[in-house]
Amino acid sequence: GIGIRIRILAMAMAMSLVRSRAPAWVPWALGGRPGACLAQQQGAVASSGFATRADKKANAGHEDDAFEVEIPIPFSLHRLPEDCISQRVSTSKAEVLSFFRDLYRMRRMEIAADVLYKGKFIRGFCHLYDGQEAVCVGMEASLTRSDAIVTTYRDHCTYLGRGGTIYEVMAELLGRSGGASQGMGGSMHMYRRSDEFYGGNGIVGAQVPIGVGIAFQQKYSGKPNCTLALYGDGAANQGQIFEALNIAALWDLPAVYVCENNHYGMGTAEWRGSKQPAFYKRGDYVPGIKVDGMDVFAVKKAVAFAKSYVLEHGPLVMEMDTYRYHGHSMSDPGSTYRTRDEVSGIRQERDPIERVRKLIAAMELATAAEVKAIEKECRKEVEDAIAKAKASPEPDAANLTKNIYAMPLGMKLRGVDREANFQLPN
Amino acid sequence: ALGLAAATQKAAPAGLTPTTTIAQVRENHTGEQARTRRVNFFTAINDALNIALDSDPKAITFGEDVSFGGVFRCTSGLLEKYGSDRVFNTPLCEQGIAGFAIGAAAMGYTPIAEIQFADYIFPAFDQIVNEAAKYRYRSGGMFNCGGLTIRTPCGAVGHGGHYHSQSPEAFFTHVPGLKVVIPSSPKDAKGLLLSSIRDNNPVIFFEPKIMYRTAVEEVPTGDYMTPLGKAKTVREGTDITLVGWGNQVGTLQQAANEVEEEGISCEVIDLRTLLPWDVDTVAESVAKTGRLLVSHEAPLTSGFGAEIVSTISKECFLNLEAPPSRVCGMDTPFPLVLEPFYLPRQFRVVHEIKQSLNF
């Protein structure tokens, strides 16, 4: 009754005194209303691992009911007003559980790819994303499939986030015709046109000017969409990135430059390769924001902010502070340029999946058994995908001469010797 | 590759026996030191870099990840020996690496820049073509970047896909002012690299990456230089001349072995330097055999084979018994799983040899 409500209010007010950035808010239990609008966030505030009985009670409702999560690490801002973005983001039980599922299945997929590579089922180059999953998952929470994404060769999870299936990723890695690019691209070249995913690009930094071009098309067509052009800390020193940024800024294009800073460009630490390792400031005249890329909620919040910002003002540079557990690629053990303690330290302190798991436990969004069930489903999904991919056929040899030109019109393509001529289709 | 052939022979003791005369030593190792060591391709490259940095105080080497030894270990040990102001990493920017190297060369240094994979050389293409190649010409001889060497791994490796397998040598042969060199064995690699570094012109030095570990040979330990612009006849023959470079030389040798059983005698020439290429050696050989076959991994159209065929067709027109043929990569982007269909493999070379002989 009233007594409980007063106690809740008292605890809530005490909590608000403890936190350094806590404007007045009304607990849900006392009539505050959940809202999706950034400006009017009301609701019980929770942060991972910080649970009270009041919170638990407040969250006993429907799984789509919104509540707020605190983002512990403050955003760093460059040329943006201090109050432009708050440290809280609205979410719901359904969303948190879906985050967990997506993060977990991405992790299992990458681990499975590691095993397949070592078993020589996957050959060539394989750049794994485990550790960085929060970036993909958080991004997608604030984007639609009409917003565009273009990224580097570390694209397996980005592809998945854009609506791809684990089977398509595995088949592509194994070089089979059921793969994302019909087996013709491999690990580094996965594309998904229907969901505005422009790959999957091998040459470092070359995808960023392409992202600006996509943003130009969006603005020109009057679409309410933006483009996220992802690149790494190593690529941040490519000249073409700055050329394209200048263009984007001149023409106010809705391009978000997302630097996935995992702190090592292959084996080179960021401070060795870059004079200015604060990549969110690299835009100089273009505003920037630095985000804790291991916190899926921070990513969600920042990308929502970025989208609304660039649609109005032009480009924005976003630095995701993230980390990869594997080396640069499967040929790189990842231990010659960083200590094992560093890697295991990040795993313990900042792992994206564990944070969400702790939040689920603290807020009792699901029981341990339910979480285990999700994990089991994800594992099965990966296993099934691998089995299906292994059984699927390789691309037909005719693919060798397909898709070289748009309209070959029966043109002759010269083969290996003067007799091997191929008639390209009409 | 020649290295593989050597690997099947019994290892000879450093070429010296109790009855070897001084004349024999001189004959076997003209201009090279008698002591040899059995090493692979990347160790031979490493040797050459060591000697270059040791003998020339103005020699410096740099590139992505060069400090710790490089992704193929070609530069291992150099940082420890020569220090970080001569052996250092660059950030990830090929255009910057090339431009920086050209500037250093223009100041009289001997920069040996590494582009990590030849597939990544294209951001640097403008610097190489417009700045490096034309420096001497556009300044009327006042400036030059002759000390510049750019070394880069190239070629198919079995699983490289689009961006770790390309052979872009033809683009650079089209640029007067540059030299383009590509060895086919560890011994040549060391000698050619030292010549390239010491040549007073900008040189692009391609290293077939598949050979880094697999090609093993007795390589002289000392300082020696293999002349640029001279091809090497690696196999004497009378019926047809096979011309190739890099890893393809090994494929040509294997094809020659195969057709030898049917009585066809092939002459195999390793071009070694593509720009300027040794017209005389090839023309003399074709004048003798009457048939030419050129083979390279790069796509057929406008590959360097086109230049060779065109020139030899003119030089040896009256000697030719059959039209010159080319066995090259297909005119497609370098594929991923379909690589075996793309490459000019042994059976295709054999087929073309027979076609030529049956003309």
**Using one digit for the tens of pLDDT, what is the confidence trace for A212-240?**
999 999 999 999 999 999 999 999 999 99
Residue B114 contacts A where some CB pair is shorter than 8 Å:
no
Residue B180: beta bridge partners?
A: B204, B275
Kindly list the residues from chain B whose CB atom is less than 8 angstroms away from the CB atom of residue A389: none
| Residue B183 tokens, joined | 């060895």
At how many degrees (to 10) do helices A166-173 and A93-118 cross? 20
Lookup result for tokens 């003399």 = B284
- B98-119 as b/e, with b when 16 or more CB fall inside 10 Å? bbbbbebbbeebbbbbbbbbbb
Distance between CA atoms of residues A227 and A27, nearest Å: 37
Q: What DSSP line would sit under A323-361, residue for residue?
A: --SS-SSTT--S-SSS-HHHHHHHHHHH-HHHHHHHHHH
Interchain contact A119–B (C-beta under 8 A): no
Q: Which residues of B touch A412 (CB under 8 A)?
A: none
Question: Catalytic pick from B32, B94, B169, B352?
Answer: B94
Nearest CA in chain B to A203: B120
pTM: 0.82
Q: What is the pLDDT of residues B282-319, one digit of tens each?
A: 999 999 999 999 999 999 999 999 999 999 999 999 99
B32 flagged as catalytic: no
Rg (CA), chain A: 23
Q: Roughly what angle, to the nearest 10 degrees, separates helices B346-357 and B248-260? A: 50
A225 min Cα distance to partner chain B (Å): 31
Q: Distance from B112 to chain A by nearest Cα, in Å? A: 19
Interface predicted TM-score (ipTM) over 0.85: no
Chain A environment of B341 (Cβ under 8 Å): 397, 400
Closest residue to B335, CB basis, from A123, A274, A400: A400
Q: What is the pLDDT of residue A61?
A: 62
By C-alpha distance, which of A50, A42, A2 is closest to A23? A42
Whether the CB of B64 is below 8 Å from some CB of chain A: the reply is yes
Confirm or reject contact between A185 and chain B (CB < 8 A): yes
Token reading at A368? 């341990």
End-to-end CA distance of chain B, in Å? 29
A204 interface with B at CB cutoff 8 Å: yes
Residue A196 contacts residue A149 (beta carbons within 8 Å): yes
Residue A267: list chain B partners with CB under 8 A.
Answer: 65, 68
Q: Rounded CA gap, B100 and A78, in Å?
A: 31
Residues whose CB is less than 8 angstroms from the CB of residue A83 and which lie 6 or more positions away in sequence, other chains included: none
Count A/B contacts: CB-CB distance under 8 Å: 123
Per-residue pLDDT in tens (0 to 9) along chain A, 426 residues? 566 666 655 555 555 444 434 333 444 334 434 333 333 333 333 333 333 334 444 445 678 889 999 999 999 999 999 999 999 999 999 999 999 999 999 999 999 999 999 999 999 899 999 999 999 999 999 999 999 999 999 999 999 999 999 999 999 999 999 999 999 999 999 999 999 999 899 999 999 999 999 999 999 999 999 999 999 999 999 999 999 999 999 999 999 999 999 999 998 899 989 999 999 999 999 999 999 999 999 999 999 999 999 999 999 999 999 999 999 999 899 998 899 999 999 999 999 999 999 999 999 999 999 999 999 999 999 999 999 999 999 998 888 888 888 877 777 777 777 667 777 776
Q: Which of B32, B164, B169, B217 is catalytic?
A: B164
